[in-house]
């Protein structure tokens, strides 16, 4: 090994779900929204003044920050915007998890958390979810360097009631608690309502799921102005112009259209309700989903086999070969038509292996 190679930062990266080039694939592997973004988004993109691209975008992302603040009825200095919630979370880890104490998060959760910890050399300790994949809140009562909890959790799809979240925040006044709410619009009450009461609470959300804009890369955090200023200070120490001009304008249009946003969520919730009984009829068990995906395990078909079989037949779902969850599949809720293809395929397969 060359001397310079010894100096390379050695990290084991997060592995995102596949993005196949073939558009005919039934893509239920990365929790994207099957419906297009709000109509205003295509309007603004079609009428984009490309001359404006000569200039750097507004480093404060003011237009989009103001629109998000308006939507959630908070002040603009309580909102931070980044390039997807991955970017927001990465900056938040760098900003707030800066002590020698261990950061705490569940053993089964978004698998990017340990990657950021390793990248930044943040010590961490995972806390086991119980046998139903629920959070044991008492595990978060100990001394720590910060806490991050996805609610609803991924890949389990479980939403913890706001009281559980508040209890954890209340027990941790000395560290920043990040609640990653990527899927909250499909679940229940957001922890945003607690941010006025707890100045150490940061709520992170995304345009990638409920607002159908995974490809545009927009995420945001909301919390006390002191937390938001700290995030901006770190952002400006790293890259002033994180959000491109096109994303800022498209994002504004997506937030403005509340009716469309609610209509799309309702469509997915309707499909979720129907899919629950279809999965059950086919012999799957799963926690109650508070998200736009299911976390399913079949009574006799091993998850890994079903994953491979579905893939061979152009139906992509997500499989994690990890302890405790290696007999589960995470399946995104697509359109009714996509779900029918999935269920018809599994039904046919089951009827074949039974004879
Ligand atoms: N948090 C959780 C729990 C997620 O599942 C995802 C999606 N992979 C993200 C954050 C990041 O989403 P995005 O960067 O697209 O906002």
Instruction: Collapse the DSSP code of 221 into the 3-class scheme (helix H, G, I; strand E, B; otherwise coil) and give the result.
Output: strand
Mean pLDDT in residue range 30-49: 97
What is the CA(3)–ligand 1 centre distance, in A?
37
Residue 131's contacts (CB-CB under 8 Å, 6 or more residues apart) are none
Ligand 1 within 6 A of CB of 106: no
d(CA 75, CA 78): 5
| Tokens matching residue 163 | 């009281």
CATH topology of domain 15-36+259-352: 3.90.1150
pLDDT of residue 353: 85
219 Cβ inside 6 Å of ligand 1: yes
Cα separation of 354 and 349, whole Å?
Answer: 9
* pLDDT exceeds 70 at position 173: yes
Beta bridge partners of 146: 103
pLDDT of the residue at 354: 74
What's the first-to-final CA gap in the chain, in angstroms?
A: 57
Is the per-residue pLDDT at 190 higher than 80?
yes
Domain parsing of the chain, residue ranges:
15-36+259-352, 39-256
Res 71: pLDDT: 98
Q: How confident is the model at residue 355 (pLDDT cuts 50, 70, 90)?
A: low
Q: Please tell me if the CB atom of residue 86 comes closer than 6 angstroms to any atom of ligand 1.
A: yes
CA atoms within 13 A on the CB side of 161: 3
Whether residue 86 contacts residue 116, with contact meaning beta carbons closer than 8 Å, is answered with: no
DSSP secondary structure code for residue 333 in this structure: -
pLDDT band at 257, cuts 50/70/90? Answer: very high
pLDDT value of residue 231: 98
Q: Is 145 in contact with 103 (CB distance < 8 Å)?
A: yes
Span from the CA of 182 to the centroid of ligand 1 (angstroms): 6
**Ligand 1 geometric centre to CA of 142 (Å):** 27
Q: Is 158 in the pocket of ligand 1 (CB under 6 A)?
A: no
Neighbours of 142 (CB within 10 A): 13
- The tens digit of pLDDT for each residue in 267-310 reads 999 999 999 999 999 999 999 999 999 999 999 999 999 999 99
Closest listed residue to residue 230, CA positions, set 346, 345, 41, 78? 78
Q: Which residue has the tokens 């390793």?
A: 118
Ligand 1 centroid–CA 1 distance in Å is 36
Lowest mean pLDDT among 14-18, 298-302, 312-316: 14-18
109 touches ligand 1 (CB under 6 Å): no
Q: 329-332 and 293-298: which strand pairing?
A: antiparallel
- CB 72 within 8 Å of CB 222: yes
- CA–CA distances in Å: residue 22 to residues 19, 78, 278: 9, 41, 27
From the CA of 207, give the closest atom in ligand 1: 16
- Ligand 1: centre distance to CA 346 (Å): 28
Q: What is the mean pLDDT of residues 115-132?
A: 98
Q: Which of 88, 106, 112 has most ligand 1 atoms within 8 Å of CB, for mutation?
A: 112
Residue that the structure tokens 């619009």 belong to = 185
Which helix or strand (DSSP H or E) is residue 340 part of?
Answer: helix 336-353
Contacts of 280 (CB under 8 A, 6+ apart): none
As its CATH architecture, domain 39-256 has 3-Layer(aba) Sandwich (3.40)
pTM: 0.97
Average pLDDT, the chain: 97
- Residue 117: CB within 6 Å of ligand 1? no
Percent of all residues in the chain with a pLDDT value above 90, rounded to a whole number: 98
Ligand 1 within 6 A of 232 CB?
Answer: no
- 108 in ligand 1 pocket by Cβ < 6 Å? no
Atom of ligand 1 nearest to the CA of 110: 3
Task: Express each pLDDT in 57-76 by its tens digit.
Answer: 999 999 999 999 999 999 99
In the three-class reduction of DSSP (H, G, I as helix; E, B as strand; rest coil), residue 74 is classed as coil
Q: Please determine, for residue 171, whether its predicted confidence score (pLDDT) is greater than 80.
A: yes
353 Cβ partners below 8 Å, 6+ apart? none
Per-residue pLDDT for 47 more than 70? yes
- Say if residue 151's pLDDT is above 90: yes
Q: Give the pair of three-digit tokens for residue 36.
A: 């297009």
């Amino acid at each position: 090994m060359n001397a310079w190679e010894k100096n390379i930062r050695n990290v084991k990266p997060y592995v995102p779900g596949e993005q196949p080039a073939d558009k005919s694939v039934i893509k239920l592997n990365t929790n994207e929204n099957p419906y297009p973004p709000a109509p205003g988004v295509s309007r603004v993109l079609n009428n984009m003044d490309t001359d404006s691209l000569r200039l750097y975008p507004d480093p404060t992302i003011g237009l989009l920050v103001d629109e998000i603040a308006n939507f959630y009825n908070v002040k603009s200095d309580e909102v931070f915007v980044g390039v997807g919630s991955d970017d927001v979370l990465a900056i938040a880890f760098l900003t707030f998890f800066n002590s020698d104490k261990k950061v705490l998060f569940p053993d089964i959760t978004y698998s990017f958390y340990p990657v950021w910890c390793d990248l930044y050399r943040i010590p961490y300790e995972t806390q086991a979810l119980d046998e139903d994949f629920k959070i044991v809140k008492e595990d978060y009562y100990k001394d720590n360097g910060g806490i991050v909890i996805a609610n609803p959790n991924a890949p389990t799809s479980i939403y913890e009631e706001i009281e559980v979240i508040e209890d954890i925040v209340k027990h941790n006044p000395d560290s920043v608690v990040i609640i990653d709410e990527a899927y909250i619009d499909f679940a229940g009450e957001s922890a945003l309502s607690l941010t006025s009461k707890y100045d150490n609470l940061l709520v992170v959300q995304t345009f990638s799921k409920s607002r159908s804009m995974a490809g545009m890369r927009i995420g945001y955090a909301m919390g006390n102005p002191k937390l938001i200023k700290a995030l901006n200070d770190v952002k400006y120490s790293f890259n002033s112009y994180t959000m491109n001009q096109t994303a800022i304008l498209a994002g504004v249009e997506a937030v403005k259209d509340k009716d469309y946003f609610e209509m799309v969520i309702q469509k997915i919730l309707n499909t979720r309700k129907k899919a629950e009984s279809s999965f059950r009829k086919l012999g799957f068990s799963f926690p109650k989903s508070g998200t736009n995906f299911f976390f399913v395990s079949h009574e006799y078909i091993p998850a890994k086999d079903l994953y491979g079989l579905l893939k061979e037949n152009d139906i992509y779902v997500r499989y994690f070969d990890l302890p405790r969850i290696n007999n589960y599949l995470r399946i995104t809720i697509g359109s009714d038509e996509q779900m029918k293809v999935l269920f018809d395929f599994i039904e046919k397969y089951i009827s074949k292996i039974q004879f």
